[in-house]
């Protein structure tokens, strides 16, 4: 059944809701001749990207926070930069900074790997590269800080550095610096990277560009990374956790107004961040989300909600209804499974439709993978060399 038939979304036509991976998504997709993204000057994008957190610090509890991603309210302590070269600064749903550099835009992001030790080098590059891809840029230069716990051997650190170097070589990224040390400040190895990319102005897709009644497009299955960590490490290799193919397919489409990669807190958190960056709210349809059978099985067996499960490998995009055909067709051509899973709206509360029932979209203060890792039953972490 098509998404338009169930929800009366404002399609200009009625394409299949999915591209790739099932019978409903095969065939029938039509190239609609949607124009490529019109060229923008850096001056054009500055006004809509410079507004960051306003610095009105909200009063928060003095109680200790749970382990995991800090709540969005913490960002209220940040202020928009007065530097006019800063085109996009910190804020909810903004995983990369964008800075004017001559006639180009430089894009920078920072992300750590804290959940796992195995494959941490490859994962560290992948999750940072995803942030760069999600704003339409290409990753170029990486700096890595590696903090290892007491007892770590020189061989272990060399193996990690070699894995990181190999990952960079495979992706055409230059590993240009960083810092490595053994410290009692950590109980397991932490790899934290800063990645810098570049893009011409007309390739930039702003994080806060979603518009009222845009459709929410999912590219790539949900919760791949969390499923891999909890028992299916082969998923890190196939389908993998890179959004490169999806982002490259979408960034030239004028009707793709914003993109956001799914990470901690799962697809629900990413949908909220995509919408709230533009002061909108998401409406999600659970039954249209692309799930791997392994994800649903492991969530059922461990009493986890897949909506809040660590989700690197999935890209969300806010797409105008008249660009939906083109977006699905281009993703299908790129070999990426895709589905229209909802829309963003102004003046509503975030909602979830599941099995014909409507309820508030859950917010996850803590990723479901972390909750599973706290259980007494030990999960199966990714094995060495699985990626």
Q: Sort residue 297 into left (φ over 0), alpha (ψ -120 to 50) or beta.
A: alpha
Residue (of 211, 358, 346) closest to 284 by Cα position: 358
3-state SS class at 174 = strand
Residue (of 318, 95, 131) closest to 210 by Cα position: 318
Quickly count: other Cβ atoms within 10 Å of residue 221's Cβ: 24
The 3-class SS string of 108-150 reads: EEEEEECCCCCCHHHHHHHHHHHHHHCCCCEEEEEEEEEEECC
**Are 223 and 298 a contacting pair, CB within 8 Å?**
no
pTM (two decimals): 0.82
Residue listed under structure tokens 């029932």:
357
What pLDDT sits at residue 82? 79
Structure confidence by residue, pLDDT tens digits, 11-23 = 433 344 566 654 3
Structure confidence by residue, pLDDT tens digits, 204-239 = 998 999 999 999 999 999 999 999 999 999 999 999
Calculate mean pLDDT across residues 52-60: 50
Quickly count: other Cβ atoms within 10 Å of residue 49's Cβ: 23
User: Could you tell me the domains of the chain?
Assistant: 81-204 (3.30.1330.10), 205-375 (3.90.650.10)
Residue listed under structure tokens 């990224």:
173
For residues 382 and 363, what is the distance between their CA atoms, to the nearest angstrom? 27
- CA 77 to mean position of chain CA atoms: 23
The average confidence (pLDDT) of the chain is: 85
Structure confidence by residue, pLDDT tens digits, 105-147 = 999 999 999 877 888 999 999 999 999 999 999 999 999 999 9
Residue (of 161, 75, 168) closest to 120 by Cα position: 161
């Amino acid at each position: 059944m098509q998404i338009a038939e169930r929800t009366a979304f404002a399609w200009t036509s009625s394409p299949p809701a999915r591209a790739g991976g099932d019978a409903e998504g095969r065939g029938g997709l039509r190239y609609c001749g949607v124009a490529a993204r019109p060229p923008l000057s850096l001056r054009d994008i500055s006004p809509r990207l410079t507004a960051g957190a306003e610095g009105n610090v909200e009063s928060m509890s003095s109680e200790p926070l749970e382990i995991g991603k800090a709540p969005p309210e913490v960002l209220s302590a940040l202020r928009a930069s007065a530097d006019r070269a800063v085109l996009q600064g910190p804020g909810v749903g903004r995983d990369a900074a964008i800075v004017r550099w001559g006639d180009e835009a430089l894009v920078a992001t920072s992300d750590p790997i804290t959940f796992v030790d195995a494959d941490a080098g490859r994962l560290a590059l992948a999750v940072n590269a995803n942030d760069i891809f999600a704003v339409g840029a290409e990753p170029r230069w990486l700096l890595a800080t590696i903090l290892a716990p007491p007892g770590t051997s020189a061989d272990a650190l060399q193996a990690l550095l070699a894995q990181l170097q190999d990952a960079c070589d495979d992706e055409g990224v230059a590993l240009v610096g960083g810092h490595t040390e053994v410290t009692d400040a950590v109980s397991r190895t932490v790899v934290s990277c800063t990645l810098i990319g570049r893009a011409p102005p007309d390739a930039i897709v702003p994080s806060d560009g979603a518009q009222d009644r845009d459709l929410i497009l999912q590219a790539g299955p949900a919760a791949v990374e969390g499923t891999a960590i909890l028992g299916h490490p082969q998923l890190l290799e196939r389908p993998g956790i890179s959004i490169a193919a999806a982002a490259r397919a979408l960034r030239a489409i004028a009707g793709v107004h914003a993109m956001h990669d799914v990470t901690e807190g799962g697809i629900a958190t990413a949908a909220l961040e995509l919408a709230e960056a533009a002061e909108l709210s998401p409406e999600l349809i659970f039954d249209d989300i692309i799930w791997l059978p392994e994800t649903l099985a492991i969530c059922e067996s461990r009493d986890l909600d897949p909506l809040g499960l660590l989700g690197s490998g999935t890209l969300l995009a806010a797409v105008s209804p008249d660009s939906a055909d083109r977006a699905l067709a281009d993703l299908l051509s790129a070999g990426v499974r895709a589905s229209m899973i909802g829309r963003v709206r102004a003046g509503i509360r975030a909602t979830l439709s599941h099995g014909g029932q409507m309820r508030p979209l859950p917010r996850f203060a803590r990723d479901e993978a972390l909750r599973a890792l706290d259980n007494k039953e030990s999960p199966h972490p990714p094995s060495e060399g699985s990626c």
